[in-house]
Amino acid sequence: MTTESAAKPITHKFDKFQTLATEKGAVRAVAEKMLDLPAQIHPPILGSRTRIWKQDPSVTELKLPRTVYVHTEVNDGPSDSQIRIKGVVPVPADVNRDFLPDPAANVEAFDAVHTYTVVRQVLTFYQRVLKKKLNWQWGQDNGEQAINVYPHAGETANAFYSREEKALKFFYFTPFKDSNLTSKVFTCRSLDIVAHETGHAILDSLKPEWILWDAPAQTGALHESFGDLTSIFLILSQLDLVEYIVAETKADLHQKNILAELAEEFGLAFNLRNGLRNADNNLKLSEVTPEVHDLSQVFTGGVFDTLADLFTSRRDPYVQDSAEVLYQTGKYLGEVVLRAIIESPNTNASFADVANAMIRIAQTDGNHDYAKFVQKNFEFREVLGPKAFGTHIDLSNFGMYPSRRCACGTMQHPQYRPKAAHLNGTNTDGMVKTP
């Protein structure tokens, strides 16, 4: 065999690889070459390391930021087929396909990487429950379209999901002068806020009628609660944070902790000591107004109490590490909540609809202790049982809608109001009127 004839097949293979790399990208080309899989089978994709704030930057005892691993393919930006970072200079991957900017050297690049990663983690968590790739609300009929994520969307104390803009927008603002904060607060740096708004986007894909202003108060409150619960479930999916929470609370989730307190830095900017919201509350339906955020705390609190009860009942440190028990409990409870929401009515869903669906799912799965604690905690909240509080009166036929004045930017956004309606004030019972 001559040298010339031996070189020919090698050159041919190299040319073929170069063509594949051009068409599909070098990472996929290498994976396909290594595994020699048929074209219809997706090979493993080499993921990327990124750096994120695993809590608000104000939670200094966690020694943030930290490095995490995104197991799916990440392109420059960073971006992928479902998520696009916008409004900042695109961040290129390094030679190892990682995204590890130093926040002290390039804070804009770090914010882009952090925000992308948290959105990706939330999406991955729920896609594992769904066992499929999720299309955003605008991609249901027209194929996959990415969501645009703006880490630095402008200066105001706000963050929101916009269906019309196909976007998640995170703003920054100067805190009150009498707060203890001396620099601007960037909402994109809060894992809680990014997870919360991403939760709104995901729920809007699954239940597009729930976000609208003419939905009943409890339906809107479920949307707001799902955002808060998304933050809780994401934290519980981070093994290092779970270990920290167990140590922080000595395995008592009703002690002050980073899991129950949401958006700590945002709260500090407005002199709120326990974060913007606190999931560990004892509110009942008879004790809150129909205002959507006020009402949402009842459902969030019921789920948080269920988490705490399950963790306490299943914890046995002589058999299994407490952090492992909390991780498994949070993972399953997150699955149950999402499955219950999917089973609930597409319109006019109530707290009882979702709570009863959670009970049915847990019983079907053979987890009767889960079902028992859901029943117990939502009876205490006056959602289920003989003392269930009647739903707040629906006055939408008279142009009256539940107030959203204390809810997040998403729930207050005018694009979700009834067409041609403007708000002209709020009355004392927490309803808003359209002319």
Stretch among 19-33, 121-135, 235-249, 358-372 having the lowest mean pLDDT: 19-33
Question: pLDDT class for 429, splitting at 50, 70, 90?
Answer: very low
Name residue 210's amino acid.
Answer: W
> In this model, does residue 328 exceed pLDDT 50?
yes
Stretch among 102-116, 126-140, 313-327, 344-358 having the lowest mean pLDDT: 126-140
Name residue 97's amino acid.
Answer: R
> In this model, does residue 166 exceed pLDDT 90?
yes
- Contacts of residues 270-277 at CB distance under 8 Å and 24 or more positions apart, as own/partner, are 270/175, 270/176, 270/179, 271/176, 271/178, 271/179, 275/192, 276/192, 277/228
Average pLDDT over residues 155-172: 95
Name residue 106's amino acid.
Answer: N
Position with higher pLDDT, 328 vs 185:
328
Instruction: Please give the pLDDT value at position 11.
Output: 47
Question: pLDDT class for 359, splitting at 50, 70, 90?
Answer: very high
Instruction: Please give the pLDDT value at position 420.
Output: 39
Q: How many helices (H) and strands (E) does the chain have?
A: 12, 12
User: What percentage of the chain exceeds 90 in pLDDT?
Assistant: 65
> In this model, does residue 423 exceed pLDDT 50?
no
Q: What is the pairing mode between strands 167-170 and 159-162?
A: antiparallel
Tokens (6 digits) for 408: 């997040």
Domains and CATH numbers, the chain: 48-205 (3.10.170.10), 212-380 (1.10.390.10)
User: What percentage of the chain exceeds 70 in pLDDT?
Assistant: 81
Instruction: Please give the pLDDT value at position 177.
Output: 74
d(C-alpha 198, C-alpha 204), whole Å: 10
Instruction: Please give the pLDDT value at position 40.
Output: 53
Instruction: Please give the pLDDT value at position 139.
Output: 77
Average pLDDT over residues 220-229: 96
What is the rounded (10 degree) CA torsion for 284, 286, 289, 290? 90
- Predicted structure pTM score: 0.85
Model confidence pLDDT, tens digit, residues 67-92: 999 999 999 999 999 999 999 999 99
Q: Are 301 and 374 in contact (CB under 8 A)?
A: no
Average pLDDT over residues 359-374: 97
d(C-alpha 202, C-alpha 145), whole Å: 14
Average pLDDT across the chain, whole number? 85
Instruction: Please give the pLDDT value at position 295.
Output: 94
Phi-psi region of 185 (alpha: psi -120 to 50; beta: other; left: phi over 0): beta
Instruction: Please give the pLDDT value at position 417.
Output: 81
Question: pLDDT class for 422, splitting at 50, 70, 90?
Answer: very low
Question: pLDDT class for 330, splitting at 50, 70, 90?
Answer: very high
> In this model, does residue 252 exceed pLDDT 70?
yes
> In this model, does residue 143 exceed pLDDT 90?
no
Model confidence pLDDT, tens digit, residues 11-61: 454 455 456 555 555 555 554 454 444 555 555 557 999 999 998 887 877
Q: Are 423 and 432 in contact (CB under 8 A)?
A: yes
Average pLDDT over residues 243-251: 96
Average pLDDT over residues 240-261: 96
Average pLDDT over residues 407-419: 77
Instruction: Please give the pLDDT value at position 26.
Output: 52
d(C-alpha 215, C-alpha 199), whole Å: 18
Tokens (6 digits) for 53: 């704030």
Instruction: Please give the pLDDT value at position 431.
Output: 41
Instruction: Please give the pLDDT value at position 265.
Output: 81
Q: Are 138 and 163 in contact (CB under 8 A)?
A: yes
